[in-house]
Amino acid sequence: MNKKNLKITLLLSSLRVFIFLALIIWSIIAVSNGIKLNGDLVTSKIVTISFCFSIVFVMFLLMNISLIMNYIYGGLNNNNIIISLSILTLNIEMMIWVFRNERPSFKFKKLPKITIFDLTASSVLLALYFVIGYITTFIPTTQFFFIELTFKYIPLFFGAFILTKTSSFILCFTAASLTALLPGVYLAFWQFLFDYWITAFCIFFASFFAPSVKSKNWIVKLSVWFSFVTVPIIIIYFSRVTSGVIFWLNPNKQEQFPQFEWSNTVGYSFIYNSVNTIFDYVMLMICIPVSCESLWVIKERFFTNSEYNN
């Protein structure tokens, strides 16, 4: 560990956290001013907005702390963790040190053979994805920011954790594509692509951050699970934002009822989709690490020689 580098990243990380906090406060005030009913602020909506933006700040702060702790205790040895957390926290200097310390080598690996057990496990997880998705349709969504429970993504995260990357790719691709057969899902191509297909398929990218060795170090665990869950959630968020921009531009000339007043469509979509995505993120951050930790027995028994260790 380089003490000079540590001081630099502590200073710059503190600056980024304070700037991020200022942006969060500004966002809460700006959105609060836009959410009015007959000129009066709606307390329940303001509380929800404040809670969601506060959660974002707490997660950003925890990721910064996790990154610094990894650097202190592990140096630049955990490249995947350091790079992923550096991207998530906009820590440019840490990425520079990683690439200067060890240039990453890109090489193509031979795809492992798909076994009958891989197909069986993928089929079970695929079935769970659709069963859970069907059951959760009976749970009413809130009219405020269309918040719904997305437990259906949990089996796909299980697949990203225990299966090989190839099997995880097949699982997520199949789940995303077969979603089009569900009633009321495919209304238009762009709507389906950004609202359903990408949001299901992108969970495959979590497999690149899945831990291959069980660790007792809580700092390493925290960092791994942050990357494992956060990377797909960020892709899901921007996919929803893109879908929202297309919807609010109103190419089909449908009647729309915005939740609050905002000056432009892009900004509105960023704020609107941040609320339901934050709820998804909090739920998955609670459920996924706890559930996957209990799957280590299956992973170590059946996938110890898989591509995770390559």
Q: What is the mean pLDDT of residues 127-153?
A: 80
Q: How confident is the model over 231-254, as a mean pLDDT?
A: 78
Question: Strand 36-37 to strand 40-41: parallel, antiparallel, or no bridges (unpaired)?
Answer: antiparallel
* Number of CB atoms found within 10 A of residue 287's CB: 15
Contact 278, 55 (CB under 8 A): yes
- Give how far Cα 117 sits from Cα of 121, 123, 162, 206, 304, Å: 6, 10, 12, 21, 14
- Average pLDDT score over the chain: 78
Nearest to 306 by CA among 156, 98, 165, 102: 165
State how far the alpha carbon of 145 is from the alpha carbons of 52, 225, 258, 292, 308, in Å.
12, 27, 10, 30, 38
The residue ranking higher by pLDDT, 191 or 236, is 236
Residue 307 pLDDT exceeds 50? no
**Section 116-138 average pLDDT:** 89
- The burial of 195, by beta-carbon neighbours within 10 Å (0-12 exposed, 13-18 middle, 19 or more buried), is given as buried
Whole-number Å distance between alpha carbons of 262 and 149: 26
The pLDDT of residue 4:
80
Q: Find, among 308, 272, 302, the residue nearest to 119 by Cα.
A: 302
pTM of the model: 0.77
Q: Tell me what pLDDT residue 281 has.
A: 87
Q: Which two tokens stand for residue 246?
A: 């297309």
Q: Looking at the domain 116-309, which fold is it?
A: Arp2/3 complex 21 kDa subunit ARPC3 (1.10.1760)
The rounded radius of gyration (Å) of the Cα atoms in the chain is 21
Q: Which ranges constitute the DSSP H helices of 179-294? A: 189-192, 198-201, 218-248, 265-293
Residue 8: CB atoms within 10 Å: 14
Per-residue model confidence (pLDDT) at position 156: 94
Which of 41-45, 82-86, 110-114 is predicted least confidently?
41-45
Dihedral sign, CA of 264, 189, 202, 143?
Answer: positive
What count of other Cβ atoms lies within 10 Å of the Cβ of residue 54?
14
* Residue 309: per-residue pLDDT: 41
- pLDDT (0 to 100) of residue 305: 53
User: What pLDDT was estimated at residue 154?
Assistant: 93
Reply yes or no on whether the pLDDT at 214 is more than 90.
no
Mean of pLDDT values over 209-226: 74
Which residue ranges make up each domain of the chain?
3-101, 116-309
Comparison of pLDDT for 277 and 250, the residue scoring more? 277
Is the predicted pLDDT of residue 261 greater than 80, yes or no? Answer: no
Nearest residue to 229 via CA among 21, 71, 88, 49: 88
Sign of the CA dihedral with 40 first, then 22, 241, and 150 last? negative
Range list of β-strands (E), 131-262: none
